Structure 1
Amino acid sequence: PLAILDPARPGGAGAAVGRPTRATLGIAGSICLILAGIAAALGLPPLGLGLALILAPLAAFGLSALAERKIGGQTGDVVGACQQVGEIAVLLALVAATA
């Protein structure tokens, strides 16, 4: 949400954090792909990893869209909620692929 949403309150703490650069986003994406590769090498199911790589960002973007509609941007709570929703999506994808 930090990359795509403006702060909900221009004078709030979220406004002081700033936005990640394209380089930072690229590094974060690369780390995700490297970790997925390591997980695949350790035997996690490829279907679960693929679903996780798709569902986690979709869940975060969905929550970001909801925050934009409801409160006009992001706050620290929105950022934390996006992390939690993304993690839940990853765990559900891995469980679904192993069931």
Structure 2
Amino acid sequence: MSNTFNVFRYEVPVRDEFYLPVSPNAVLLSVADSRTDPGQKVDVWVRVPKSDRYSTETGLHAVLRIAGTGHDIEAEDATHFLGTVVTAIGLVWHVFYRFEISTDGMAIR
């Protein structure tokens, strides 16, 4: 088994919840304001082992929870902290995530 991995960037719209299909061994690394649509999306970088690069058929999702400063966040929606994004226009978002398995065949949404 190879110990190499790839890092991929995903653009995620700024909304309360976003489901991102990931491989079983994926690691969410970082978040920043989007390079292509700043203020409207965030970029999320994910480390994926090369051996399971295309393994999103497992139904595993990283459920991203994006909230502004002072907004209510349910603890079960935010089991892991990914980072804080400060935009050039002064908007601030805190990005949390949890892993969830779905059997409904849901794609990125």
TM-score > 0.5 by shorter chain:
no
Shorter-normalised TM-score: what interval? under 0.3
Higher relative contact order (CA 8 A, sep 6+): 1
Which structure has the larger Rg?
Answer: 1
Please state which structure has a larger fraction of its residues in helix. Answer: 1
Give me the TM-score of the superposition, normalised by structure 1.
0.26
